[in-house]
Amino acid sequence: MQPLTARHPTRRRSQAGFTMIEVLVALLVFSLGVLGLVAIQATATRMASDARDRAVATFMADQILARMLISDSASALSFAHLPTGTTPCNPGGAASTNAIVTGWLGEVGKQLPNAATTSQQIVVAAGGEVTVRLCWQNGNDPARSLTVHNKVQWQP
Structure pTM?
A: 0.75
In the predicted structure, residue 109 carries a pLDDT above the cut 60: yes
Q: If DSSP codes are grouped into helix, strand and coil, which group holds residue 115?
A: coil
DSSP symbol at 143:
P
Read off the pLDDT of residues 111-123 as tens digits, 9 standing for 90 and up: 999 999 999 999 9
The pLDDT, as a whole number, for residue 144 is 93
Listed in sequence order, the residues at least 6 apart from 125 whose beta carbon sits closer than 8 Å to its beta carbon are 131
Give the pLDDT band of residue 35 (cuts 50, 70, 90): very high
